[in-house]
Amino acid sequence: MQLLDHVSIGVPDLDAARPFYDAIMNALGALKVYDRPNALGYGERCDAGETQSSYLSIYLDASAIEPNKRHWCFKAATRSQVDAFHAAGVAAGGRTDGDPGLRPHYHADYYAAFLIDPAGNRLEAVCHTASA
């Protein structure tokens, strides 16, 4: 079951966010579907014929981003995608918040990496399979 249909993340500066989100979404295989003055979009929207997709919107929002436990986690098909997500995010202006690796306290094959985007949002990519 795909629990989420779409997610929106606010950032105060789209010019700073654009290279970061382009890089990490590319690493995870998510297509950029629009680039507007006030928002970026990645993934695929659901419709009546295709109900399993998910979608990410990055939108301009001047609100302060305070440190907290909230984060957004993206599924990766392979562990190498998790590695690529982390490397691309750091190279594009993000900060590491947890290097790629196993997190066995979740389950034996939970392989994840954490990033902080240029605005301060916390992101994760995870692969749940051992062989990937």
Q: What is the pLDDT of residue 132?
A: 54
Crossing angle of helices 14-27 and 79-91, in 10° steps, is 160
Domain boundaries, the chain: 6-127
**What global pTM score does this model have?**
0.91
Mean pLDDT by 10 residues, the chain (132 residues): 79 96 96 94 80 85 85 93 98 97 94 96 94 64
CATH architecture of 6-127: Roll (3.10)
One-letter amino acid of 5: D
Q: What is the pLDDT of residue 129?
A: 93
Tokens of 82: 């998790």
Taking the alpha carbons of 31, 35, 84, 8 in that order, is the dihedral positive or negative? negative
